[in-house]
Amino acid sequence: MSKSVNKVFLLGNVGKNPEIRTSPSGTVVANFSIAVSDREKDSSGNWTDKTTWIDCVCFKKTAEIVQSYVTKGSKIFVEGKITNRSWDDKKTGEKRYKSEIIVNDITLLSGKEESGGRQEESAPSPVKRATFQEVLDDPNEIPF
């Protein structure tokens, strides 16, 4: 078998406040989307920004950091892996698919003033890091 790599790096802004929930096993889960932009020339030769929205999910300590420090507009750097999942739509019975990033590491780049102020005054730095390996002791805890 040949070696392969599934690694994603994203730098962008959070589109809306993260959704936080707890799985049946008690694992904290955070879902959010990041807007990343590329510059490209349009058919007239003018430069335009093209924004892509990317869904992200993180677990345990990383999700708790997201809950405490990430808000709509926060600039963040995310390292993770892309995954695909599918399910049957309860209303139509059709098979649905979704691609998302499982966040392994997050770096917060916005200060309190830039991200909406959810950071606490006692926070030593606006940059917080947590790695997937540090916070996920049991791979069976991933709720999918």
Question: Which of 25, 91, 17, 34 has the alpha carbon at shortest distance from 59?
Answer: 25
Interatomic CA distance for residues 20 and 38, integer angstroms: 29
Please tell me the predicted confidence (pLDDT) of residue 113.
57
Find out whether 135 and 61 touch, Cβ atoms under 8 Å: yes
Please tell me the predicted confidence (pLDDT) of residue 47.
92
The pLDDT tens digits of the residues spanning 107-124 come to: 999 775 555 544 443 344
More confident call, 126 vs 14: 14
The pLDDT tens digits of the residues spanning 27-82 come to: 999 999 999 999 988 889 899 999 999 999 999 999 999 999 999 999 999 999 99
What is the signed CA dihedral for 20, 23, 27, 33, rounded to 10 degrees? -30
| CA distances from residue 79 to 42, 57, 63, 103, 143 in whole angstroms, order as listed | 30, 11, 14, 6, 20
The pLDDT tens digits of the residues spanning 64-77 come to: 999 999 999 999 99
Domains of the chain: 8-38+50-88+95-139 (2.40.50.140)
Interatomic CA distance for residues 83 and 99, integer angstroms: 6
Statement: residue 105 has pLDDT above 80? yes
The token duo for 103 is 């966040």
* For range 130-135, the mean pLDDT: 46
